[in-house]
Structure 1
Amino acid sequence: MYATQAVTQLVPLAKELDENKVTPGVLGFIVFAVMACAVWLLMKSMNRHMGKVDFKETPADVTEPTKAPAGGPTT
């Protein structure tokens, strides 16, 4: 399909659009941009906090014997 044929077929479609149709416009873009910035800042903060987490487990104290639960049977 040639570009001129595509243009001639799309021009009548453009005339059929309702001019009173509600669109997001500038306000929708601003809200979307603010939400995108908020998500970016949250991801950045989460990455910083996850970097502070120490994943190394401390070894259990071997010298301390395990105790039976209080009030339980001692058989």
Structure 2
Amino acid sequence: MTHLVTFAKEVDEDKVTPGVLGFIVFAAMALAVWALMKSMSRHMNRVDFTQVPDPKAEQAEQAEPEPADAEASGQGKQKQG
């Protein structure tokens, strides 16, 4: 333990550095971020972005009557009076 005390006296007190432990923590965090980005990229490439049509929406579109603006433009049924 006495050899650490002599080493502490040799260290410049005005100079503050993160040291080896700081580098190891930073490197571990960088590797973790890289691994997460690689995993996310792999998962995003597997996603299928084609949308499946909703069968309920198709049935609702087929059951709708003619739109009101079609009658106004003369395309609807003619009224006889």
Give a deviation string over 1:24-73, Cα, whole Å, max 9, x none. Answer: 010010000000000000000100110111111112332x227xxxxxxx
Q: Which structure shows the higher helix fraction?
A: 2
Residues paired across the two proteins, number: 49
State TM-score, norm by structure 2: 0.52
Does 1:45 pair with 2:39?
yes
Structure-2 separation of matches of 1:65 and 1:55? 24
Percent of residue pairs bearing the same amino acid type:
62
The 1-side partners of 2:60 and 2:37 are apart by 44
- Alignment partners' CA distance in 1, 2:37 and 2:25: 18
Q: Which residues in structure 2 correspond to 1:31-42 (within 5 Å)?
A: 31-42=25-36
Runs (5+) with no aligned partner, structure 2: 1-10, 62-81
Question: Which residue among 19, 22, 25 is the counterpart of 2:12?
Answer: 19
Runs of 5+ in structure 1 lacking a partner?
1-17, 67-75
The separation in 1 between residues aligned to 2:60 and 2:49, in whole angstroms, is: 26
Provide the secondary structure at the position in 2 that maps to 1:23. coil
Alpha-carbon distance in 1 for matches of 2:60, 2:22 = 64
Select the structure of larger CA radius of gyration: 2
RMSD: 2.2
